[in-house]
């Protein structure tokens, strides 16, 4: 070796010294190569020069600020990305130097107490060196689990999360680790098997995000061990088949039959919807042996549309459980949970909504924000939804930078003060911890919570897509990246939790089961044979249901409606409305709003609950309903209909948030899960249904055909062209008629209050779930021609066609029409004394062909039959009616 002497040795030692004290970027290069997300510390003299009380007080405040910064922004430098696509950058607030602290402060001791909140993390010590404080903070906030929670306003909530994160965490037991490995084995084995046996078939696999399965498993295990009744899951296509099999309990054989092209007659699928849209119900069992009912909601291809549907289903089931608990019809544990709901505790403790999202969709689809903002509203709260974002860092081909303007896809959840747990999908133990924390937060606080699970998509958007065309660098990295199961196996082997032979054998066991199931499936049917679809629910003529209500009962109902609490002061305009209503009822008549109220009241007395929601629905867009009175002096509220409820019967009328998409999705979900309730959604104006068209197209009108899933939801859509311009005039009757087929719904445009009364009661009492769309009036709400005598409530029924009540003695022309224009045509006919009969079509679908023919036969001398409507000819019912009248 060369011996350095003289000046050379001095230069060498100087260079070594400079490197050791951090000059020339020496530590920066090391930190970068090791992926350390912290700024290197350079040596310099201790400028404070003393540990006086004043100096240490200043430094203590600097340390406190550093602690707060880690709680606020520690997630920014957490190790979240399995692919390490971007070099982490230390935020200035997380750099000790940014708070005036130096290398000399690392060994100085500082106070850790309730004042800075670190007491729970220190095991009783009240002072720690700064380097240990930094270690605690970085372990809590900057490893593979980052927590975003300081935006929450409630200090108690923040303190609870802080203590959960900073307190020492017990290591997972050997059994818990093996459970995680088992779920990873199941997830990977299924994807690998499908990928090799069904090459090129779309399945939207979970490769790269396998940790989703142990995460869901952990959440549901917590729910089962907490003796919850059920969980309702909503998700899009990514990983759906894996969830169906490894969470919900779909058998390998059932799945393979779908891949083989055979249709299971017992499966819930209708028109051959793709397998990654189908729903299912099953039973999950926790490691402790506790069962949990699990439902995976069917969904269309429209991303995030299923979210509000799941929440509505959860709300409906929660309400039903509360009633069953009251009746003593459920087990003790569920009854206790439901009783807590009804007693004002965190609602939904018996039902867990769990919604899975994609990263690009969570940020990009507005229905996510609408659904989040429902979460704490009266009428919509379900005690919190757990949101699990499968953040594979790309949306089809769009990068994160092209998909959002925020650092994280989950930042939208900050608007409702939801905590967000960011977690590295390559650390399945951290994912399980995030799942458990999310469940515990929801249980404690009854609010939404988000898990942002960072992962990747090993293949393209679907199995036929080549993602390297648009993301070559990412997919070069993915090709070299070790799968999560393999990484976890190596970790357990190093910890002596399992040996490699046993780990390989466990995976082989799943593969053997898959092979056996496929062989059995292929042996069940001769080649090319397909199994028959299950029968559809009955269709055809609408039922003959007695919807009458006796006059005495109507009077009893009205007596309750007209009674106000003693001393209750109503608004002068409302008082005038009530006086006019009293006079009308005394004359044995009822207008539109009163007919609706009488229908609701009669149903409540019979034991049928009613749920109505919509923008401004409690008062009514046109000040017609007044379901709830507000004391003009005290602000107290009074809802007269509530006094008519039979035991375990409810009236729910809510002013919804200013949303159509999520609001209608919620009510659709509610109607699915609690079909015994008459569920109605009212648009402020009929054209507001435009904003909910995805729910209408993909769920409401198609769910029976696609999934054999019926809904009895009622849509009230105010309609009528009344000289106010194109906006708020049309409910797009023509659009609904284009969607009508195979008796999938009922479309009605009643023109009298009695018709509306009987229509609502028929829908509520019908034992078949079929949507009802009512093109409700605006100008007819108070119009005298639309009023009905009370005798029509007591002695009639809904009629699909109304003949002219007073036709002339000779009829030369028959005018067929629907809606308010019928009353206008009759008035014009009377003023002209024309020989015209006006016939109103009250039910547009199913088309009442027999009833129309019967009425037309009464006018044999009519030389002309015409169709009249107030809409332009390319709108309204004309194009639909023309083919049926030819």
Positions annotated as catalytic residues are 1
- Rounded Cα gap, residues 652 and 630, in angstroms: 16
Q: Which residue has the tokens 């390989």?
A: 504
Element of type H or E holding 138:
helix 130-141
> Bridge-partner residues for 422, per DSSP?
146, 452
| Cα-based torsion angle of the residue sequence 846, 850, 854, 859 in order, rounded to the nearest 10 degrees | 70
699 by Cβ neighbours in 10 Å (0-12 / 13-18 / 19+) ranks as: buried
Token couple for 780:
């007819």
DSSP label at residue 399:
E
Identify the three-state secondary structure at position 509. Answer: helix
User: Measuring CA to CA, which residue among 653, 652, 603 is closest to residue 764?
Assistant: 603
User: Who's near 362: CB < 8 A, 6+ residues apart?
Assistant: 304, 368, 387, 389, 409, 410, 412
User: Measuring CA to CA, which residue among 470, 473, 417 is closest to residue 447?
Assistant: 417
User: Measuring CA to CA, which residue among 391, 513, 378, 373 is closest to residue 448?
Assistant: 373
User: Measuring CA to CA, which residue among 69, 78, 67 is closest to residue 141?
Assistant: 78
Give the helix, strand, coil percentages of the chain, each rounded to 5: 45, 10, 40
- Rounded Cα gap, residues 711 and 703, in angstroms: 8
Token couple for 334:
């569920």
- Rounded Cα gap, residues 831 and 825, in angstroms: 10
- Rounded Cα gap, residues 825 and 806, in angstroms: 13
User: Measuring CA to CA, which residue among 816, 800, 801, 853 is closest to residue 542?
Assistant: 800
Token couple for 83:
């692919």
Rounded to the nearest angstrom, the gap between the alpha carbon of residue 670 and the centroid of all alpha carbons in its chain is: 12
Element of type H or E holding 320:
helix 306-326
User: How many residues make up the chain in this entry?
Assistant: 886
Q: Is omega for the bond preceding 846 within 30 degrees of 0, making it cis?
A: yes
User: Measuring CA to CA, which residue among 408, 375, 445, 372 is closest to residue 164?
Assistant: 445
576, 765 Cβ separation under 8 angstroms: no
User: Measuring CA to CA, which residue among 397, 412, 407 is closest to residue 364?
Assistant: 412
- Rounded Cα gap, residues 365 and 349, in angstroms: 28
- Rounded Cα gap, residues 596 and 614, in angstroms: 15
Identify the three-state secondary structure at position 414. Answer: helix
């Amino acid at each position: 070796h060369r011996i350095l002497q003289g000046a050379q040795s001095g230069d060498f030692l100087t260079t070594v010294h400079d490197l050791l004290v951090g000059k020339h970027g020496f530590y920066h290069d090391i930190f970068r190569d090791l992926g350390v997300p912290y700024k290197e510390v350079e040596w310099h003299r201790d400028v404070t020069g003393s540990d006086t009380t004043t100096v240490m007080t200043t430094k203590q405040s600097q340390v406190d600020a550093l602690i707060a910064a880690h709680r606020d922004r520690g997630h920014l430098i957490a190790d979240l990305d399995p692919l390490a696509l971007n070099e982490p950058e230390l935020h200035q607030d997380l750099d000790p130097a940014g708070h005036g602290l130096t290398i000399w402060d690392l060994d100085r001791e500082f106070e850790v107490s309730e004042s800075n909140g670190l007491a729970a993390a220190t095991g009783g010590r009240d002072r720690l060196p700064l380097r240990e404080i930094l270690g605690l903070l970085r372990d809590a906030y900057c490893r593979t689990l980052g927590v975003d929670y300081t935006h929450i306003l409630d200090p108690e909530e923040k303190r609870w999360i802080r203590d959960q994160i900073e307190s020492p965490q017990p290591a997972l037991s050997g059994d818990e680790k093996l459970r995680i490995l088992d779920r990873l084995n199941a997830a990977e084995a299924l994807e690998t098997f499908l990928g090799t046996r069904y090459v090129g078939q779309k399945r939207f696999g979970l490769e790269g995000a396998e940790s989703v399965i142990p995460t869901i498993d952990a959440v549901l295990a917590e729910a089962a061990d907490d003796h919850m009744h059920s969980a309702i899951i909503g998700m899009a296509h990514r990983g759906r088949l894996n969830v169906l099999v490894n969470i919900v309990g779909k058998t390998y054989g059932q799945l393979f039959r779908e891949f083989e092209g055979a249709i299971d007659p017992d499966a819930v699928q209708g028109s051959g919807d793709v397998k990654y849209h189908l729903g299912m119900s099953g039973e999950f069992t926790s490691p402790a042996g506790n069962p949990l009912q699990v439902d995976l909601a069917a969904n269309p291809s429209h991303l995030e549309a299923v979210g509000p549907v799941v929440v509505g289903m959860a709300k409906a089931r929660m309400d039903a459980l509360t009633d069953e608990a009251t009746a003593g019809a459920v087990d003790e544990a569920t009854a206790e949970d439901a009783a807590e709901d009804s007693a004002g505790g965190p609602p939904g403790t018996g039902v867990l909504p769990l919604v899975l999202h994609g990263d690009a969709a969570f940020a990009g689809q507005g229905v996510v924000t609408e659904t989040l903002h429902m979460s704490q509203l009266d009428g919509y709260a379900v005690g919190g939804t757990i949101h699990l974002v499968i953040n594979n860092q790309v949306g089809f081909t769009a990068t994160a930078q092209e998909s959002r303007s925020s650092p994280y896809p989950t930042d939208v959840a900050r608007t409702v003060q939801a905590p967000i747990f960011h977690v590295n999908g390559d650390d399945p133990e951290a994912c399980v911890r995030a799942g458990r924390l999310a469940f515990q937060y929801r249980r404690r606080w009854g609010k939404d919570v988000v898990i942002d699970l960072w992962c990747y998509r090993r293949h393209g958007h679907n199995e036929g897509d080549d993602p390297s065309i648009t993301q070559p660098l990412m997919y070069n990295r993915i090709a070299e990246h070790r799968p999560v199961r393999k990484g976890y196996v190596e970790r357990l082997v190093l910890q002596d939790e399992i040996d490699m032979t046993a780990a390989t054998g466990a995976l082989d066991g799943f593969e053997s089961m898959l092979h056996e199931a496929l062989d059995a499936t292929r042996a069940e049917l001769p080649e090319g044979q397909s199994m028959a679809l299950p029968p559809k629910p009955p269709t055809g003529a609408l039922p003959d249901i007695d919807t009458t209500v006796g006059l005495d009962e109507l009077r009893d109902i009205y007596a309750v409606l007209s009674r106000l609490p003693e001393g209750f002061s109503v608004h002068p305009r409302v008082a005038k409305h009530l006086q006019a209503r009293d006079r009308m009822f005394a004359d044995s008549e009822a207008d539109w709003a009163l007919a609706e109220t009488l229908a609701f009241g009669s149903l409540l007395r019979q034991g049928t609950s009613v749920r109505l929601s919509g923008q401004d629905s409690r008062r009514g867009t046109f000040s017609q309903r007044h379901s709830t009175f507000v004391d003009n002096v005290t602000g107290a509220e009074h809802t007269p209909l509530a006094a008519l409820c039979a035991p375990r019967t409810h009236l729910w009328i809510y002013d919804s948030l200013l949303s159509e998409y999520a609001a209608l999705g919620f009510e659709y979900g509610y109607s699915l899960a609690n079909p015994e309730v008459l569920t109605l959604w009212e648009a402020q104006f009929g054209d507001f249904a435009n904003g909910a068209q995805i729910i209408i197209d993909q769920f409401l009108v198609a769910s029976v055909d696609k999934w054999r899933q019926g809904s009895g939801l009622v849509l009230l859509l105010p309609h009528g062209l009344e000289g106010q311009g194109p906006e708020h005039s049309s409910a797009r009757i023509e659009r609904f008629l284009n969607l009508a087929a195979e008796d999938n719904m009922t479309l009605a445009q009643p023109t009298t209050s009695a018709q509306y009364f009987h229509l609502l009661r028929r829908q509520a009492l019908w034992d078949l779930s079929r949507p009802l769309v009512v093109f409700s009036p605006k100008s007819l709400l108070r119009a005298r021609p639309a009023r009905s005598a009370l005798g029509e409530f007591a002695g009639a029924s809904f009629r699909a066609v109304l003949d002219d009540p007073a036709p002339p003695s000779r009829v030369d022309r028959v005018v067929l029409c629907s809606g308010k224009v019928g009353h206008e045509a009759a008035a014009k006919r009377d003023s002209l004394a024309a020989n015209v009969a006006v016939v109103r079509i009250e039910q547009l679908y199913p088309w009442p062909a027999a009833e129309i023919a019967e009425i037309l036969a009464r006018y044999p001398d009519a030389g002309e039959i015409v169709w009249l409507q107030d809409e332009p000819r390319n709108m309204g019912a004309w194009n639909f009616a023309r083919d049926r009248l030819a």
